[in-house]
Amino acid sequence: MSGSSGAASSAAPSFRVWALGGIPEVRAGDDLAKLIAAAEPGLVDGDVLLVTSKIVSKAEGRIVEAADREAAIDAETVRVVARRGPLRIVENRQGLVMAAAGVDASNTPAGTVLLLPEDPDASARAVRDGLRDALGVDVGVVVTDTFGRPWRNGLTDVAIGAAGVRVLDDLRGGTDAHGNPLSATVVATADELAAAGDLVKGKAEGLPVAVVRGLSHVVASDDEPGARQLVRSAADDMFRLGTSEAVREAVTLRRTVREFSDEPVDPGAVRRAVAAAVTAPAPHHTTPWRFVLLESAESRTRLLDAMREAWIEDLRRDGKSEESIAKRVRRGDVLRNAPYLVVPCLVMDGSHTYGDERRDTAEREMFVVAAGAGVQNFLVALAGERLGSAWVSSTMFCRPVVREVLSLPSSWDPLGAVAVGHAVGVARERAVREAEAFLTVR
């Protein structure tokens, strides 16, 4: 494969890139440089070798026993950047921000996972030095891995390690073809090389090494900084926190959903939402929230059947006709149609008793407000997990029934029930509410 820029002519810049065949299955302890040299790559000075990180990891014995891939991801994670359901974008111990910390369960024996090289730049240096010793050539080496990108669909290879390659081409201070100054142009040359190699290596062809020829100007001395130079520092990362943007997005996503698909709900996502819920403010340093998770169909059915019977009795006492009662019960089936239910409860542990009705009422109201803040946090966090929800007040009207069926302490006051699941269809656009309509300024 070749590439060019400018008008087609003999003087136009060009390069060649091809995949190198003949690399055997790599095992722990193998010398990659010797394996590559044995494949008779025909390397010359100025070539760039692109090596898939997977074979580097195998040679370095980075295969570990791990029946639970999530635990392996936890071990390699320094910071969780974003999470949606089981997918995590994290910063790993190499400083790379990527999906699942680079922990790979493909092309490795069952019950094991493959971790990224401990120091990809050092791995690249070892291959470069080994090829110099074996073949007498001065080549650049780039260790590549597959990344997704924010705001872009699809995957591409990028450089995670490099040796003897100018990984960045800083054009700042120069001018473009029209004489305009270049003030922010720094080209990620090593990433461009990695992507070019991926075009010929492919993802499933068993060709883990590629060679680029014709770009000798990117090959540099041994003391050239490695691919670590490509990792943006925390101080320069405009999206490192993104807290306000993330909260606003989750709040916007939060809608009342009344129709759910059969897709199961990840219990871990609900627990993460509870973790967000209990960060709400509360009086007297208390924790006035409890969340009862109804994960089994049996527990949901038992509760909803008992609540329905209590509701029907209430409606009959109110003199409603059987037809009217049937219609109301059908409208209340949003909880029955959900694959997961949560019953948030208020507890008054730590509250003060004043012996004065006005102050005691205000005390309870403080706790109710705090519990409501917790439930709002919970709903917003569910939306951030791409889960739909509907907060229904029904359990508040039959608290004794709920406590009995769920074996809850008498001091727990159910605050409705939250139906949780994956929404069917696309929610309608939310009506615009101008903040000014809800403000009073003094």
pLDDT in tens, 189-224: 999 999 999 999 976 678 999 999 999 999 998 888
Check residues 247 and 166 and name the one with the higher pLDDT: 166
Q: Are 344 and 289 in contact (CB under 8 A)?
A: yes
By percentage, how much of the chain surpasses pLDDT 70? 93
Report the C-alpha gap between 174 and 126 in whole angstroms. 35
Check residues 67 and 377 and name the one with the higher pLDDT: 377
Check residues 252 and 179 and name the one with the higher pLDDT: 179
Lowest mean pLDDT among 57-71, 231-245, 298-312, 398-412: 231-245
Report the C-alpha gap between 51 and 307 in whole angstroms. 63
For residue 237, what pLDDT band results from cuts at 50, 70 and 90? Answer: confident
For residue 3, what pLDDT band results from cuts at 50, 70 and 90? Answer: low
Residue 114: closest CA among 79, 65, 162? 65
Question: What average pLDDT score do residues 240-265 get?
Answer: 73
By percentage, how much of the chain surpasses pLDDT 90? 66
Q: What is the pLDDT of residues 384-408, one digit of tens each?
A: 888 999 999 989 999 999 999 999 9
* Longest Cα–Cα distance in the chain: 97
Question: What average pLDDT score do residues 33-38 get?
Answer: 97
Q: Are 218 and 165 in contact (CB under 8 A)?
A: yes
pLDDT value for 6 = 45
Whole-prediction pTM:
0.69
For residue 70, what pLDDT band results from cuts at 50, 70 and 90? Answer: confident
Contacts with 196 (C-beta within 8 Å, 6 or more apart), sequence order: 1, 3, 15, 17, 50, 210, 212
Q: Is the pLDDT of residue 95 over 60?
A: yes
For residue 277, what pLDDT band results from cuts at 50, 70 and 90? Answer: very high
Check residues 243 and 166 and name the one with the higher pLDDT: 166
For residue 80, what pLDDT band results from cuts at 50, 70 and 90? Answer: confident
The DSSP call for residue 83 is: E
pLDDT value for 421 = 95
Q: What is the pLDDT of residues 299-350, one digit of tens each?
A: 999 999 999 999 889 889 989 898 888 888 776 677 888 999 999 999 999 9
pLDDT value for 8 = 45
pLDDT value for 59 = 97
Contacts with 288 (C-beta within 8 Å, 6 or more apart), sequence order: 282, 346, 347, 348, 349, 350, 367, 370, 371, 374
Q: CA 13 from chain center: how many Å? A: 40
Q: Is the pLDDT of residue 105 over 80?
A: yes
Domains and CATH numbers, the chain: 2-62+116-236 (3.30.1330.100), 243-438 (3.40.109.10)
pLDDT value for 241 = 58
Q: Is the pLDDT of residue 138 over 50?
A: yes
